[in-house]
Amino acid sequence: MPQAIEVRKVPIHSVADASELTKLIDDGVIAADRVIAIIGKTEGNGGVNDYTRIIADRAFREVLVEKGADPAAVKEIPIVWSGGTDGVISPHATIFATTDAEPTDDKRLTVGFAMSEVLLPEDIGRTAMVTKVADAVKVAMERAGITDVADVHYVQTKTPLLTLSTIEDAKSRGETVFTEDTLYSMDVSNGGTALGIAVALGEIDMPTDEQVLKDRSLYSAVASCSSGVELDRAQVVVVGNATGVGGRYRIGHAVMEDALDQDGLWDAIRSAGLDLPDRPHTSDLDGRVVNLFLKCETSADGKVRGRRNAMLDDSDVHWHRQIKAAVGGVAAAVTGDPAVFVSVSAAHQGPEGGGPVAAIVDLG
């Protein structure tokens, strides 16, 4: 049986700062050798060359080793950084650690982790990627003690995208790649990964190569996929609820139907177990929302609720940054806290123009 989970959100005060993780350990809230996953936002550009993710990764791993965790074990901890804190989004990290708690009959938060087989450049955005990711999701579910896919509420992944060097590697072996546009390959990697999650959870049947990034009716309601240059496999973190693990926390999910859908955020919080009035207000949360985790995407028709916007036509500021800032503002208005996890490039993650939302709450 998996152990109970303690989960805390901490601010990041500068690019290389992990001082709040140090405080949690020094105060005895968590133990360094019991940290099992970290998911956070860094303040870089969110693009292919966003090295703030690597800097933050190093800072947090160094603290865990300094505080007594085994260096070899620390290397294997999934730490997923999403770059870009556009608008009011504040840099932060959500830290998951095992803790001792009495088992309960009520379902409580559980976390499982797995790594996929190596993803070759020619796999990205194709069924080979979908299959490898789906296999890893099933392993992570098993490790989380989840037997019913309905108890999976959030699957956070990190996968490789394409770079000039990996594209050349594929060509040198006589292989082709989905795209040679490295920034677009972020969407491709995220979309292929999301389809793998959807297949593993029975949300869709196995897609064809031709459907990847084309058939947007295929999506996962719980996938949150990020990609970067710092790995060659899929890191998969499955977060859900299980009976018997104990602890104070629960997770739930819903979807935003579009970029302004506050009801989707409130529905995710309700799904996690908080009772809310019909017309909720931030004050109704009483500080019990640990964090919201969202994916967002600009609608391909260039509209929100029938009104035209110019994000897809803007040559100065990429739409990734604009939609992230907009949805971050909506989420922060609900929670009253700008430290929300909002990630862009949501191909096959939630409905077209919207995205999945997961909420972790403290039930006391």
- Positions annotated as catalytic residues are 158, 226
Give the HSE-up count for residue 53: Cα atoms under 13 Å, Cβ half-sphere: 24
254 near 261, Cβ under 8 Å? no
In sequence order, which ranges of 300-364 are alpha helices (DSSP H)? 319-335
340 near 332, Cβ under 8 Å? yes
| Among 66, 54, 52, 53, CA closest to 19 | 66
32 near 68, Cβ under 8 Å? yes
- As a whole number of angstroms, the distance between CA 95 and CA 312 comes to 35
Strand locations in 27-91 (E):
35-42, 79-83
In the three-class reduction of DSSP (H, G, I as helix; E, B as strand; rest coil), residue 284 is classed as helix
In the three-class reduction of DSSP (H, G, I as helix; E, B as strand; rest coil), residue 122 is classed as helix
320 backbone dihedrals φ, ψ, rounded to 5°:
-50, -45
The distance in angstroms from the start CA to the end CA of the chain is 22
Q: Which two tokens stand for residue 11?
A: 């601010």
